[in-house]
């Protein structure tokens, strides 16, 4: 198994980064503080599977070819001002926006604006295993690897300075949506070329250069990221000079910082904190449906969980209604499918697994399952899809104990969690998924395809050739009705096989100080901070 960024974890913490000043006057005159719980191992979202860099930083540091409207869920131009779909969806031609500058940083001074060379470099690196940059910093691109893009992309070509054409081996109706995710930033080929000349290629992913509204100023591992305004941003100068992303405090600590004014924005507050947030006149609260799913994954490679009947019996023992009451406090909906209800391919006939502990006991006994002991792996940090993973795990542990199944909770974090899960020593894992794509393929293939096992996003280790074939057929058609039929069949198969137990579709929550304006909460992940400003405050440089 490959280890992602063995050097990066050390190198990031060595960047020059004095502890950021929390003096209210400093920040409030020039920017704001965004408090979030997260772990980082790279500044390049191409190489991340989830987490802070994808959920928060990518929209600040980089732009993509396409964007998704957070209100209409439609594709929008970004660095590509227009595009064409050719060959029934096997060829995609992007016409690039002119005069988009890259960021001027302490480590890179661009001599030209963004062009086709940058787009070709950005995606050739990911899709072409023979590209000289593919294996830099580990060669792992979890999102695109899970979609098998290195096998399905035939070529990425520059047609002229402002036109790029990507050819696939076969039609893929979801391709544009994948290119609109935060996993698909456009990097600077000129920056990469300079790093190659001095043999410092690993710097590309730890000292970022993009075209986004903010650029990296300081970083201290486990404490904060300070972003500085990109004054030359092509959409117009951002409203505030700096943003400090504070990741130093836990759940109650972040709430305390919000209440005392040390934080201006609290991402993913716990649902149990809502009453406090709603009752404080100094705060505002935003809630929106999210494209996310919280679920329990069974390790289908380990007995007795390799038997669908056992997985079905265990699912009957979990009291999902209690999870809704004790974890989400009315901010989530019980999940019946791995697809969120907001997806256009959601199966309206899908049904939530009923809570029936007596039937669970009877079925386990009939299957000859006695004295079963399971290890449940749980992330410690709150997530957009689950504000309290440990408490959720404890409730599941108690539910399974009622049917004679002993559960040991193992608390893990970040890439360590993913590495241990890929060793297949776990029995269960409590996890989830969120994406900035409205295409169902962004859920099915990364989470449950055979290829996603190797890319470390299929925690169930479930591989079903019939399921993969349904997903493949859905991609070949540009007709929505046909795709829906295939995805309905895929969801029916998941309901029977149950490699994962869907738990909840969570609302996205965000709390912030009353004077913060222009903060957009997107169902697909965090939006740009370029329009955020402070009401009545006169902006000054830091």
Query: What's the pLDDT score for residue 395?
Result: 97
DSSP assignment string, 237-251: --SSSEEEEE--S-H
Query: What's the pLDDT score for residue 71?
Result: 75
- The three-class DSSP label of residue 423 is coil
More confident residue, 161 or 255: 161
Query: What's the pLDDT score for residue 72?
Result: 78
- The three-class DSSP label of residue 173 is coil
Nearest one of 387, 379, 364 to 429, comparing CA atoms: 379
Query: What's the pLDDT score for residue 250?
Result: 66
- Per the listing, tokens 């409207």 go with 69
Phi, psi of 334 (to 5 degrees): -60, 130
Cα–Cα distance measured from residue 484 to residue 166, given in angstroms and rounded to the nearest whole number: 26
Flag whether pLDDT at 243 surpasses 70.
yes
pTM of the full structure:
0.81
Confidence of residue 171 (pLDDT cuts 50, 70, 90): very high
More confident residue, 537 or 24: 537
Mean pLDDT of 153-169: 97
Query: What's the pLDDT score for residue 13?
Result: 35
More confident residue, 418 or 148: 148
Tokens at residue 483, please?
């795709």
Could you tell me which CATH number the domain at 63-206 has?
A: 3.90.76.10
The boundaries of every CATH 3.10.105.10 domain in the chain are 292-506
Percent of the chain surpassing pLDDT 90: 69
Residue 147 to residues 126, 151, 172, 339, 435, Cα–Cα distance (Å) = 12, 9, 11, 17, 14
- The three-class DSSP label of residue 390 is helix
Mean pLDDT of 157-172: 97
Flag whether pLDDT at 28 surpasses 50.
yes
Flag whether pLDDT at 525 surpasses 70.
no
Query: What's the pLDDT score for residue 7?
Result: 32
Cα–Cα distance measured from residue 91 to residue 441, given in angstroms and rounded to the nearest whole number: 18
Write out pLDDT tens, residues 262-305: 999 998 887 788 888 888 999 998 888 878 899 999 999 999 99
Q: How far is CA 155 from the centre of its chain?
A: 26
Cα–Cα distance measured from residue 303 to residue 541, given in angstroms and rounded to the nearest whole number: 61
Flag whether pLDDT at 515 surpasses 50.
yes
Write out pLDDT tens, residues 400-457: 999 999 999 998 875 445 555 556 578 999 999 888 777 899 899 999 999 899 878 8
CB atoms within 10 A of CB 148: 18
Mean pLDDT of 465-476: 95
User: What's the distance, Cα to Cα, between the start and end of the chain in Å?
Assistant: 44
The boundaries of every CATH 3.90.76.10 domain in the chain are 63-206
More confident residue, 71 or 487: 487
Decide which of 3.10.105.10, 3.10.20.70, 3.40.50.300, 3.30.110.40 is the CATH code for 292-506.
3.10.105.10
Query: Poorest-confidence range of 91-100, 196-205, 434-443, 463-472?
Result: 434-443
CB 510 within 8 A of CB 526: no
Write out pLDDT tens, residues 443-469: 999 999 998 998 788 999 999 999 999
Query: Poorest-confidence range of 103-117, 307-321, 380-394, 447-461?
Result: 380-394
Query: What's the count of helices (H) and strands (E) in the chain, helices before strands?
Result: 20, 22
Residue 19 to residues 36, 224, 265, Cα–Cα distance (Å) = 17, 8, 19
Asked if CATH classification 3.40.190.10 holds for the domain at 28-39+212-282+514-535, the reply, yes or no, is yes
Tokens at residue 181, please?
């995710």
Flag whether pLDDT at 3 surpasses 70.
no
Query: What's the pLDDT score for residue 107?
Result: 97
Query: What residues have CB less than 8 Å from 294, skipping those under 6 apart?
Result: 332, 335, 383, 385, 386, 392, 430, 431, 432, 502, 503, 504, 505, 506
CB 246 within 8 A of CB 224: yes
Mean pLDDT of 122-142: 95
Tokens at residue 348, please?
């309206």
Query: What's the pLDDT score for residue 534?
Result: 92
The boundaries of every CATH 3.40.190.10 domain in the chain are 28-39+212-282+514-535
Nearest one of 385, 491, 394, 393 to 432, comparing CA atoms: 385
């Amino acid at each position: 198994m490959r280890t992602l960024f063995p050097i990066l974890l050390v190198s990031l913490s060595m960047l020059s980064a004095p502890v950021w000043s929390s003096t209210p006057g400093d920040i409030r005159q020039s920017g704001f503080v965004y408090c979030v719980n997260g772990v980082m191992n790279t500044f390049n979202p191409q190489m991340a599977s989830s987490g802070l860099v994808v959920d928060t930083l990518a929209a600040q540091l980089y732009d993509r070819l396409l964007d998704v409207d957070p209100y209409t869920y439609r594709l929008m131009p970004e660095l590509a001002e227009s595009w064409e779909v050719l060959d029934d969806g096997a060829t995609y031609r992007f016409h690039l926006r002119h005069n988009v500058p890259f960021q001027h940083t302490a480590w890179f001074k661009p001599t030209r604006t963004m062009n086709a060379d940058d787009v070709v470099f950005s995606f050739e690196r990911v899709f072409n295993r023979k590209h000289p940059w593919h294996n830099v910093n580990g060669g792992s691109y979890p999102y695109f690897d899970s979609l098998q893009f290195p096998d399905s992309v035939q070529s990425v070509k520059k047609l002229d300075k402002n036109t790029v054409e990507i050819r696939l081996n076969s039609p893929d109706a979801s391709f544009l949506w994948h290119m609109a995710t935060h996993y698909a930033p456009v990097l600077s080929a000129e920056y990469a070329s300079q790093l190659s000349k001095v043999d410092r290629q690993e710097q590309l992913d730890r000292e970022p250069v993009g075209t986004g509204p903010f650029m990296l100023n300081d970083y201290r591992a486990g404490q904060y990221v300070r972003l500085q305004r990109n004054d030359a941003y092509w959409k117009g100068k951002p409203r505030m000079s700096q943003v400090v992303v504070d990741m130093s405090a836990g759940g109650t600590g972040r709430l305390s910082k919000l209440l005392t004014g040390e934080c201006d924005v609290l991402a993913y507050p716990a649902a149990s904190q809502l009453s406090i947030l709603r009752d404080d006149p100094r705060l505002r609260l935003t809630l929106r449906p999210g494209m996310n799913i919280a679920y329990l994954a069974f390790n289908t490679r380990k007995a007795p969980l390799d038997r669908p009947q056992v997985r079905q019996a265990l699912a009957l023992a979990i009291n999902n209604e209690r999870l809704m009451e004790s974890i989400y406090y009315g901010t989530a909906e019980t999940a019946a499918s791995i697809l969120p209800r907001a997806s256009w391919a959601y199966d309206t006939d899908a049904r939530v697994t009923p809570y029936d502990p007596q039937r669970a006991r009877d079925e386990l006994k009939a299957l000859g399952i006695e004295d079963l002991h399971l290890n449940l792996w749980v992330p410690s940090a709150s997530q957009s899809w689950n504000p309290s993973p440990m408490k959720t795990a404890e409730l599941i542990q108690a539910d399974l104990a009622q049917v004679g199944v002993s559960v040991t909770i193992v608390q893990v974090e970040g890439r360590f969690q993913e590495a241990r899960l890929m060793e297949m020593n776990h029995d269960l894992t409590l996890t989830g998924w969120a994406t900035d794509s409205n295409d169902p393929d962004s859920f099915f293939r990364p989470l449950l395809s055979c290829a996603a096992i190797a890319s470390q996003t299929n925690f169930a280790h479930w591989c079903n050739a019939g399921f993969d074939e349904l997903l493949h057929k859905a991609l070949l058609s540009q007709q929505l009705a046909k795709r829906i039929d295939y995805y309905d069949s895929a969801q029916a198969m998941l309901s029977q096989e149950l490699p994962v137990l869907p738990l909840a579709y969570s609302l996205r929550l965000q709390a912030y100080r009353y004077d913060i304006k222009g903060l957009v909460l997107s169902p697909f992940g965090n939006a740009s901070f370029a329009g955020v400003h402070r009401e009545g405050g006169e902006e000054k440089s830091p």
